[in-house]
Structures are given as C-alpha cells and as structure tokens.
Amino acid sequence: MTDCLFCKIIAGRIPSKKVYEDDRAFAFEDVNPQAPTHVLIIPKKHIVGLKEAEEADAELLGYCQIVAAKIARERGIEQGYRTVYNVGPSAGQSVFHLHLHLIGGRALGWPPG
C-alpha cells in the first residue's frame, strides 16, 4: 500500500533499524522503545490490524509470533517478554499496518496500562 508508513519501511523508502527479514515478515527496532528490547514484527502483506485480519491470514500471524520468539531467544530475554497487538485507537494503535510488539529486557508489570 503506497500511503502506509510501515509498507514504506518494508520497501526501504523510510529508513529503519532492521532486525530480521524474509519473504513474509520484516522486523525492526521501534523508534520510541518502551524497554531495552522493543522490536516490531510485521507481515509484508498490508493488513490494517488484528480486527481486520481474516482466517486466511492465520498462518502469517502465527509466523510473526514465531519470528518474535526467535528474536527473543537471540537476544537472551527469555526470562520474560511480551508479544502484544494494540488493537484499535483506544488500545493505542497508532499505525494501521498490523504490527506485533516484542517487548522485553526489563521486568514487566501486570496488568498493562
């Protein structure tokens, strides 16, 4: 999608600190990190958000979780991390290309705010 910030990041038209890339997924450092590790894992396919995802996207969404788990393993944060979707404006979704937050490297409170 031409007018999407994260599609532009995937295409390299907006710079990012790339963490991982393959034919289906792209991962990069969040520009405003909330923890020592704060990586965004996104499908290359433009999906607006979790509530817009379809059953046909199930494998792709699961794959993004597996990519997050691999990054967490590589970074040695398996003591505790979260993978989070903010879904909709009231939950803080501000970019409308589906993105999985990988947050870790510090103690994480519960419940989240």
Please choose which of Zn ion, ligand 5GP, none residue 88 contacts, taking the beta carbon within 5 to 8 angstroms, the exact cut-off set by kind.
none
User: Which residues from 36-75 bind ligand 5GP, rule CB under 6 A?
Assistant: 40
Rounded to whole angstroms, the Cα distance separating 53 from 73 reads 27
23 alpha-carbon distance from chain centroid: 16
Question: Is residue 28 a contact residue for ligand 5GP (CB under 6 A)?
Answer: yes
Virtual CA dihedral for 105, 113, 30, 57, nearest 10 degrees? 100
Closest distance of CB 85 from ligand 5GP, Å: 7
| Interaction site with ligand 5GP (CB under 6 A) | 5, 14, 16, 28-32, 40, 86, 92-95, 99
